[in-house]
Amino acid sequence: MRIVLMGAPGSGKGTQAQSLVSRYGIPHVSTGDILRREQAQGTPLGLRAKQIMEAGGYVDDATMIAMIRNRLTQADAANGFVLDGFPRTIPQAEALSKLLAEIGAPLDVVLLFEVNTEQLVKRLSGRRVCELCKKVFNVHTSPPTVPPECVAGRTEHQVVQRADDAEETVRARLRKYEEATRKPVSGFYSYTGLIRTVDAEGAIDVVTQRMFDTLAAGSGGAQPEAPAKKRAPQRRATKPKAKAKTRARARKVAPKPAAKRAKKSPSKRRVVARKPKRAVVRKARPKRARRGK
């Protein structure tokens, strides 16, 4: 299975990706995770990405496309993948289609996770991560557990908020997602017929069930380009057909009423009357010329 997960930050794509990984035995490819690893290793890309990520912006398309090309051509992705966080722009979506066409491995489905914006703000700005055991909590829905289970010898978690989970950054990320990703990229995949929407509000296992129901309900289908090619001629064909019908109808129906109108219409009468006048003038000119000589 080759699956793209689309959804706002905090919509639970990463969590649901784990269920897909278990069921299909395919790798979870998260561009956010790759960038965070680069940051942790202090690579030039990581350092550049850090500032962009903290401001809620997007890393440039060329960098992201090269990253995905490199990752999806690795051996473990040969039988499929769950792509999370990519594509985020139309150039990325187009590059992915091109890459998959090159390797003869079309996408099966794009799952679009939908969650109300205020719910997302609450989920993300309430998120806390324990620096020691890396467990993720939410101050609203799942605060650090009591009795705490942290690393050996510790009775308390050491929770921190990720820089890009600060409320202002969260709102900026959500705006960016809506404008730069959800509208254009979901439009791109709707056109190809690959997209399936999943209501991602509610408990994790409820959403997981909805996701698998959605996958079972629709086969996903073909490579992005294929349905587009099929549809395009149909659309193009309808207009000429309609025009041809209109013209044919006009040809069949028009003569009688047109003839009737010609007799009654004052404008038609004027046209008929002008012709003989012009003919008379043209004949008269040579006569005058001859007299002049």
Interface residues with ligand AMP (CB under 6 A)? Answer: 9, 31-32, 35, 52-53, 57-59, 64, 85-86, 88, 92, 173
CB of 31: closest distance to ligand AMP in angstroms?
3
Nearer to ligand AMP, 85 or 126 (CB): 85
113 within 8 A of 19, measured Cβ to Cβ = no
- Sign, Cα dihedral of 49, 55, 60, 61: positive
Which phi and psi angles does 99 have, rounded to 5°? -60, -45
CB of 136: closest distance to ligand AMP in angstroms?
13
Nearer to ligand AMP, 96 or 159 (CB): 96
Q: Point out the catalytic residue in the list 2, 123, 173, 210.
A: 173
Question: Which token pair is 115?
Answer: 């969650």
Nearer to ligand AMP, 35 or 207 (CB): 35
- 134 CA to centre of own chain: 32
Verify whether residue 285 is a known catalytic residue. Answer: no
Q: Point out the catalytic residue in the list 71, 123, 127, 210.
A: 127
Nearer to ligand AMP, 35 or 194 (CB): 35
- Sign, Cα dihedral of 158, 164, 165, 169: positive
Which phi and psi angles does 198 have, rounded to 5°? -120, 125
Tell how strand 28-30 and strand 81-84 pair up. Answer: parallel
- 268 CA to centre of own chain: 56
Residue number of the CB closest to ligand AMP reads 32
CB of 65: closest distance to ligand AMP in angstroms?
9
Nearer to ligand AMP, 41 or 145 (CB): 41
Verify whether residue 173 is a known catalytic residue. Answer: yes
Nearer to ligand AMP, 127 or 157 (CB): 127
CB 193: neighbour CB atoms within 10 A? Answer: 17
CB of 154: closest distance to ligand AMP in angstroms?
27
For residue 78, give the nearest of 37, 24, 17, 22 by alpha carbon. 24
CB of 20: closest distance to ligand AMP in angstroms?
16
Distance CA 188, CA 49 (A): 26
For residue 202, give the 3-state DSSP assignment.
coil
Distance CA 43, CA 125 (A): 28
Verify whether residue 23 is a known catalytic residue. Answer: no
- Tokens 């050996």 sit on residue: 152
CB of 144: closest distance to ligand AMP in angstroms?
22
61 within 8 A of 8, measured Cβ to Cβ = no
Q: How far, CA to CA in Å, does 275 sit from each of 3, 71, 280?
A: 73, 79, 9
Q: Point out the catalytic residue in the list 88, 123, 176, 182.
A: 88
Catalytic residues: 13, 88, 127, 162, 173
